[in-house]
Amino acid sequence: MKLSVVIPVYNEKNTIEEIIKRVLAVDLDAVEKELIVVDDASKDGTINILKDLEKVYPNVKFYYKPENKGKGDTLKVGFSHSTGDYVVVQDADLEYDPQDIKGLLRALEESKADVIYGSRFSGNYEDMSSLHYFGNKMLTIVTNLFFGVLLTDMETCYKLMPGDFVRKINIKSPRFDFEPEITAKILKAKLRIKEVPISYKGRSWSEGKHITWKDGFAAILTLVKFRFLD
């Protein structure tokens, strides 16, 4: 089996080299690993670092968008270049531990699920602000009500999905509303989701966290749109 790991990047000069190292260091045994890095027109020097890393890691695929459009648009680019049987997203900010990807693959092998979600709230999470805690909980509750499921963490970055599925769908949400859109489309496609515990260590606004309360309202509207209108 082949796994594509897609890293969307925007202004992550302090962490991008370390996260690439950590992903490459994960031993997936017989699973082939493909790493795809997509920069969303960073302005803080990240691109220069990525250009240097291209020379160090010739097997990693690097792509550079000419214009900043958001995480959803960046993932759309990354998915289009993926070739794996399965695809997972890895944020570039060190909040998620790439070693947890092994647990996602193990759950896929041991269960009858089509998609594996890594749940922060059934695992160990640290330094999550009250705003993000309650925002994530609220969005997950809305998802459960709309789709009749029992998820604990809809907004998780770690979603292990079939490659053919993500390459086929048309992602319309350009920003952080990608998460509710992809969840809605997974559930409307009748794909079975299983959650497994993962670890999480949040970062603060001063450390470069990008998501805001406005993205929470956008996520609710996205859930309504893709549940009832699209």
pLDDT by position in tens, the chain (length 230): 999 999 999 999 999 999 999 999 999 999 999 999 999 999 999 999 999 999 999 999 999 999 999 999 999 999 999 999 999 999 999 999 999 999 999 999 999 999 999 999 987 777 676 777 888 888 899 999 999 999 999 999 999 999 999 999 999 987 778 899 999 999 999 999 999 999 998 755 454 455 654 556 677 778 888 777 76
Domains of the chain with bracketed CATH:
2-229 (3.90.550.10)
C-beta of residue 17 within 8 angstroms of C-beta of residue 54: no
Q: Where are the beta strands (DSSP E) in the chain?
A: 2-9, 32-39, 61-64, 86-89, 115-126, 159-162, 193-201
Beta bridge partners of 115: 193
pLDDT at 205: 46
C-beta of residue 93 within 8 angstroms of C-beta of residue 167: no
How many Cα atoms within 13 Å fall on the side-chain side of residue 56? 9
DSSP state, 96? B
C-alpha to C-alpha distance for 171 and 72, rounded to whole angstroms: 7
Backbone angles phi, psi at 114, to 5 degrees: -95, -30
pLDDT at 220: 79
pLDDT at 203: 55
CB atoms within 10 A of CB 107: 18
C-alpha to C-alpha distance for 72 and 130, rounded to whole angstroms: 24
The Cα angle at residue 197 between residues 195 and 154, in degrees rounded to 5: 50
CA 48 remoteness from chain centre = 24
C-alpha to C-alpha distance for 54 and 57, rounded to whole angstroms: 5
C-alpha to C-alpha distance for 7 and 196, rounded to whole angstroms: 21
